[in-house]
Amino acid sequence: MTAVQKGNGKLGRPGVPLIDGIDKVTGRARYTADLEHDDALVGRIFRSSVSHGEIIRLDVSKARALEGVIAVVTGEDCPHTYGVLPVAMNEYPLARERVRYRGEPVAAVAAIDAETAERALALIEFEVRELPAYYTSEDARAPGAVLLHEKKSGNLEREVHHEFGDLRAGFAAADLVREQRIHCAEVNHAQIEPHACLAEYDSLSGRLTVQSVSQVGYYLHLMLSRCLEMDTSRIRVIKPFIGGGFGARVEVLNFEIVTALLARAAGGKVLMRLTREENFLTHRARPQTDIKLKLGMRRDGKITVCECEVVQRGGAYAGYGIVTILYAGALLQGIYDIPALKYDGYRVYANLPPCGAMRGHGSVNTRHAFECVLDRMARELGLDPFAVRRANLLHAPMRTLNGLTVNSYGLGECLEKVERASGWRERIGKLPRGKGLGMACSHYVSGAAKPIHWTGEPHAVVNVRLDFDGGVTALTGAADIGQGSSTMVAIAVAETLGVALERIRVVAGDSAVTPKDNGAYSSRITFMVGNAAIDAAKKLKTMLVEAAARKLEANPADIECVGETFQVHPGGQSSLPFAEVVKVALAERGPITVSGTFTCPEESQGGKHRGGAVGSTMGFSYAAQVVEVSVDEATGVVNVDKVWTALDCGHAINPLAVEGQIEGSTWMGMGQALSEETHYLDGLPAHASLLEYHVPTIVESPPIEVHIVESHDPYGPFGAKEASEGALAGFPPALVNAVANAIGIDLDELPVTPDRVVEALVERRRQQRLAATRRAAS
């Protein structure tokens, strides 16, 4: 694939395969557990068997004395808390004084082999004075409940109360007001690569090297420094290949710090591989959520007011909780025109594994409720679901009531695409019983405009190097976790420089080499790192053009690049090949390294109200989708026959990767809609395997027809926005709306499992019988 010269973002069309794809398909790619570890000790974690209690006794002496055990660490070895939000670090890598969920790490061992490590765990003596444990938001919030954390009355981690616009006027203007309660089960990322960490401590130099599955190497670096009381300069964090993230690894995880603690205690190398069950215990995913949503609507479908209450069961520790509960309210906006809005959010502590960020962070469950209620009200008013969405579209550029900037907006076009592609107008209402169509819309941020750790630095930095070999190396801290971000960086640099993609090499995620990056979260990489890559490449290009001009004795303004040839415009009689230009440029100053940066301006960083920065972004992606289902009324089984998804990603830098992201996020929404849920028995996860936690297999996964919409964002790299998360939230409501269309039943709970469908059908029959009996009696 060769580059198109002009900076028009055309490189890559119809798309380029991932630059690291060959390594993946040949089995060469090394993930954390594949790294050389012959000389490594085996790490294992001892976990709490009770949900809530005070630690009375922890005796590791017998474990320590076992032959082959090299190190044992406990909470004594780390008196520092860690966490992703500077304001909410309330978790120890290994519990101290108290345990708050079943499966919480309490101690860890490093031994010469797995069997010895397991035997050592069995020798650890652990006594706890049990405290009452709470597994539901309701129980945890009940008056008199024991507090999980001091000063957090009602076991509330955070309460949010936001109000914008004139609510009373909104209700007065409404022709129809409806209120609905919606319940969404907790789900898990279930990324296929289990968590793993390889840590090496060199006692002689006092240096620590950690290779881990993290999406946020920089935060890991900071937390290792904090928890191990080590100078950051003595720590190196390297990202190997990563087998998916979806948010599972966007905060530092306990096992990463524990592995480093073990390596230091052992004075060597420790490999920690978590089981799938431990992955579910580590959790950090989308919380169980109860939503009460009230909408006011005019007869023509225009929304006049929205009131929303959200309760999230956040688990035992803070994690990203504050951000999640803020997102849930903030992202009610930025997609439709809502003149008045009230949001009340409650993030609750409970004695369960901590929740965190998961693809579509914070937005998914409230979007689900909103799109379901919108559909039901449309039905009552005799309006088409598409018409109701169209009655509420925004017009970019604009600023929402809560201060979010909308700079580009392709939702209208998304609606048109899926409406036409699905044959909606011809088919809706004409399908046989048991078959149905449903639709919904969604959106997501292209990077949180305000970084979590405010340092004053640019929000993204990419370094580009050029040396004697003529190879261009882009150095980025951005974590490619399979989404193709390194490929995006390569395309952005090649495109801007006007050189062949093969000339670009990307080195990513090694703190000793690559510039700091905040990480792979909030879909920030394409927008921020992409812009920084373009900036760096532009600077390099200026240097090369100047060098060519000197050699050709021309004005730099007259130098034109055609392929990898620099020539004098017009005519191009005198020209230089790329290799020659490199020689000239290097002769002057030696090998070149330039830095490109990107920062979201302050006006894009949200409202000034408390928590107003959450939800703010330079560019929202928008999506619309139609889902077609078949419902078996005897068994309650819902089959998804086909999905049409359109997503406005501003501009598709790599259309192939964009398609892959849209398909993957749509499908992940299907998992949450149809089959995925966690289930705890007195705090014990009963779902902790890939057999019990029902990720859809290829058999029940439908064809997904993708339509890319390009609204050309004014600030995105080549006009691009995110493409990895925006489509997810539309699937669950589109599915529930399709089921309603198929069998006339509105489901208020996710996931739509056969038992829930059957229960709803039985309930309807019961209601019909009661009504008939009443009619007969009267």
Partner 1 sequence: MLTDRPEPRKRLLRLRLNGRWREDAVAESELLVDYLRDVARLTGVKTGCDGGECGACAVLIDGEAMPACITLAVRCEGRSIETIEGLVEQGRPSRLQRAFHEKLGTQCGFCTPGMIVASEALLRKTPRPSDQEIRAALSGNICRCTGYVKIIESVRTAAEAAP
Binding site for partner 1 (CB under 8 A): 15, 17-18, 20-31, 33-34, 62, 65-67, 115, 119, 189-194, 241-244, 246, 273, 275-277, 481-484, 656-657, 659-660, 663-664, 666-668, 670, 689-691, 695, 697-699, 701, 703-704
C-beta closer to partner 1: residue 28 or 609: 28
Q: How far apart are CA 773 and CA 766, in angstroms?
A: 10
Kindly state the smallest distance separating residue 46's Cβ from partner 1, in Å. 17
CB of 40 to partner 1, least distance (A): 12
CB of 667: closest distance to partner 1 in angstroms? 3
Pick 91 or 480: Cβ nearer partner 1 = 480
- Smallest gap, in angstroms, from Cβ of residue 329 to partner 1? 29
The smaller minimum CB distance to partner 1, of residues 190 and 585, is found at: 190
Give the count of alpha carbons within 13 A of 774, CB side only.
6
Closer by beta carbon to partner 1, 394 or else 734 = 734
For 25, other C-beta atoms within 10 Å of its C-beta total 10
Name which of 191 and 575 has its Cβ closer to partner 1.
Answer: 191
Map residue 351 onto helix, strand or coil: coil
Q: How far apart are CA 328 and CA 60, in angstroms?
A: 43
- In this structure, what DSSP letter does residue 277 have? H
Buried b (16+ CB within 10 A) or exposed e, 486-510: bbbbbbbbbbbbbbbbebbbbbbbb
Closer residue to partner 1 (CB): 193 or 290 = 193
For residues 24 and 583, which CB has a smaller minimum distance to partner 1 in the complex? 24
- Residues 558, 535: Cα–Cα separation, whole Å: 21
Give Dmax (Cα) for the chain: 103
Which residues neighbour 57 within 8 Å (Cβ) at sequence distance 6 or greater? 125, 126, 127
State how far the Cα of 657 lies from the Cα of 659, in Å rounded to an integer.
5
Strands 575-577 vs 565-568: parallel, antiparallel or unpaired: antiparallel
Residues counted in the chain: 778
Instruction: Provide, rounded to whole angstroms, the least separation between the CB of residue 351 and partner 1.
Output: 24
User: What is the per-residue burial (b if ≥16 Cβ within 10 Å, else e) of 194-220?
Assistant: bbbbbbbbeeeeeebbbbbbbbbbbbb
Peptide bond into 751 cis (omega under 30): yes
- Could you give the 3-state DSSP secondary structure of residue 737? helix
- The β-bridge relationship of strands 196-202 and 207-212 is antiparallel
What minimum distance in Å lies between the beta carbon of 689 and partner 1?
6
Q: Which residue's CB is nearer to partner 1, number 26 or number 778?
A: 26
Task: Tell me the closest approach of the beta carbon of residue 692 to partner 1, in angstroms.
Answer: 9
**Closest distance of CB 525 from partner 1, Å:** 14
Give least dist CB 67 to partner 1, A: 5
Q: Among residues 62 and 539, whose Cβ is nearest to partner 1?
A: 62
Q: How far is CA 240 from the centre of its chain?
A: 19
Minimal distance in Å, beta carbon 63 to partner 1? 9
Nearer to partner 1 among residue 24 and residue 234 (C-beta): 24
Nearer to partner 1, 512 or 699 (CB): 699
Smallest distance, partner 1 to C-beta of residue 116, A: 8
| CB 640 within 8 Å of CB 674 | yes
Cβ of residue 337: shortest distance to partner 1, in angstroms? 32
**H or E element, residue 623:** strand 620-631
Task: Decide: residue 431, CB within 10 A, 0-12 exposed, 13-18 middle, 19+ buried.
Answer: middle
How far apart are the C-alpha atoms of 82 and 95, rounded to whole Å? 12
CB of 627 to partner 1, least distance (A): 13
User: Least distance to partner 1 from the beta carbon of 13, Å?
Assistant: 14
- C-beta of 274 vs 532, nearer to partner 1: 274
Is the separation of the CB atoms in 623 and 439 below 8 Å?
Answer: no
CB 252, CB 219: distance < 8 Å: yes
Residue closer to partner 1, measured from CB, 586 or 695: 695
For the bound state, the minimum distance from the C-beta of residue 302 to partner 1, rounded and expressed in Å, comes to 35
Distance CA 776, CA 438 (A): 36
For partner 1, the closer CB: 186 or 480:
480
Q: How many angstroms separate the Cα of 758 from the Cα of each of 363, 764, 765, 766, 772?
A: 29, 10, 11, 12, 21
Q: Which is nearer to partner 1, 228 or 266 (CB)?
A: 266
Taking alpha carbons only, the member of 748, 54, 52, 698 closest to residue 376 is 748
Q: Distance (Å, rounded) from C-alpha 117 to C-alpha 110?
A: 6
Q: Which residues 6+ apart lie within 8 Å of 759 measured at CB?
A: none
Residue 163 token pair: 């109000």
User: Nearest 5°: CA angle at 491, between 486 and 497?
Assistant: 125
Residue 761's H or E segment, with its range, is: helix 754-777
Return d(Cα 688, Cα 675) in angstroms, integer: 14
CB of residue 524 to partner 1, shortest distance in Å: 18
Q: Reduced to 3 states, what is the DSSP secondary structure of residue 535?
A: helix
Closer residue to partner 1, CB minimum distance, 247 or 607: 247
